[in-house]
Amino acid sequence: DLTNPELANEAELAFEGALRPRSLGEFVGQARVRGQLQLLLTAAQMQQRTPDHILLAGPPGLGKTTLAMIVAHEGGRPLRMSSGPAIQHAGDLAAILSSLVPGEVLFIDEIHRMARSAEEMLYLAMEDFRIDIMVGKGAGATSVPLDLAPFTLVGATTRSGLLPNPLRDRFGFTAHLEFYGEDELREVLGRAARMLGLDVDGEALAEIAGRCRGTPRIANRLLRRVRDYALVHGGRADLDAVRAALELYDVDELGLDRLDRAVIEAILTRFGGGPVGLNTLAVSVGEEAETIESVVEPFLVRIGLLTRTPRGRVASPEAWRHLGLRSPASGLP
């Protein structure tokens, strides 16, 4: 699953770690968000306080984890990493919060998947750097307040719409990460190629940039497959190598992979082009609704193959063209 921005095995994590920008200056693109973060961090530094809590919203693979690391690194602060799915009880969160050192940056990935009970504990922690711990059971239970070290929470979510308002409101700043433009992706790729000591020409980089779904993680991953291809075939990492490697891995000219095409094809052939509801669609392609909604759809919407309407998902005329099918609306020959 070369273009699933969510998958990452051990080898890939190591590879990503090596390519991660370490400062805002090295971070490519997202100029708006970079400017906003820079201001927030500089102001905090000038006043010698911990920066406000930061929420990073956007599809997977756009640099949320990287930015959390940069926030810690730029301020010379330690970083603790956790994730929503790992926090299934308030106690899990209490254990983390109570062991933070002053100024620490706490990164919670997929914060929308945290347990409800933990969420409520987090409100107080974010606002007052304090939590209430329940001691005992039943009628004899009492709550004991516990002061925390001041910390900066950096939350990441692919679905900011799923966050309850009280949680969203407690972040001093929300950054919305956008898909990257092709120029920016060429820059990401050029940087990665240099760091890997890879000789790739501009044409090849441009081709990868056009096929990586606006996502740096996928750009770097495709680059790695192209490198493998060139290595095995004893050639250069040129345009031909890119085309052959991406064909082998089922990534088409628009960067769509098998799941993207399955979704489009289902809407076109089984639901007459839509509208079709998310859950029905998910069942018909055998994938989780959340994956369709946070991974597949944002990109299909962005490149104009899909629109979301109140009655469901609708494929655009371009979607019919891209799959080489004839839209009923276009009339019979």
| Sequence ranges of the binding site for Mg(2+) | 65
Please, what is the minimum distance in Å from the beta carbon of residue 80 to ligand ADP? 16
Whether 109 is catalytic is: yes
For residue 253, report the phi and psi dihedrals to the nearest 5 degrees: -60, -30
Q: Counting contacts by CB under 6 A, is residue 65 touching ligand ADP?
A: yes
DSSP 98: H
Q: Counting contacts by CB under 6 A, is residue 160 touching ligand ADP?
A: no
The structure tokens 């891209």 sit at 322
Whether 65 is catalytic is: yes
Rounded to whole angstroms, the Cα distance separating 259 from 266 reads 10
Sketch the per residue contact string, 163 through 192, with ligand ADP: x for CB under 6 A, - otherwise.
-------------------------x----
Question: Which 79-118 residues touch ligand ADP, going by CB under 6 A?
Answer: none
Sketch the per residue contact string, 199 through 238, with ligand ADP: x for CB under 6 A, - otherwise.
-----------------xx--x------------------
Write down the catalytic residue from 186, 211, 213, 217: 217
Q: Counting contacts by CB under 6 A, is residue 255 touching ligand ADP?
A: no
Rounded to whole angstroms, the Cα distance separating 111 from 119 reads 9
The structure tokens 């990503």 sit at 16
Write down the catalytic residue from 3, 50, 109, 186: 109
Which residue's CB is nearer to ligand ADP, number 186 or number 217?
Answer: 217
Q: Counting contacts by CB under 6 A, is residue 61 touching ligand ADP?
A: yes
Rounded to whole angstroms, the Cα distance separating 42 from 2 reads 38
Rounded to whole angstroms, the Cα distance separating 249 from 262 reads 15
Rounded to whole angstroms, the Cα distance separating 12 from 219 reads 13
**Measured at CB, which residue is nearest to ligand ADP?**
63
Whether 3 is catalytic is: no
Rounded to whole angstroms, the Cα distance separating 228 from 70 reads 30
Whether 269 is catalytic is: no
Q: Counting contacts by CB under 6 A, is residue 28 touching ligand ADP?
A: yes
DSSP 200: B
| Interface with ligand ADP (CB under 6 A), residue from 3, 24, 27, 131 | 27
Q: Counting contacts by CB under 6 A, is residue 62 touching ligand ADP?
A: yes
Rounded to whole angstroms, the Cα distance separating 7 from 60 reads 10
Which residue's CB is nearer to ligand ADP, number 200 or number 267?
Answer: 200
Q: Which stretch binds ligand ADP (CB under 6 A): 58-66, 129-137, 229-237, 296-304?
A: 58-66
Decide the pairing of beta strands 54-57 and 173-176: parallel
Inter-residue contact 81 to 114 (CB < 8 Å): no
Rounded to whole angstroms, the Cα distance separating 259 from 255 reads 11
| Closest by CA position to 71, among listed 101, 40, 46, 47 | 40
Whether 307 is catalytic is: no
Residues that bind ligand ADP (CB under 6 A): 16, 19-21, 27-30, 60-66, 156, 188, 216-217, 220
Write out the catalytic residue numbers: 64-65, 109, 158, 217
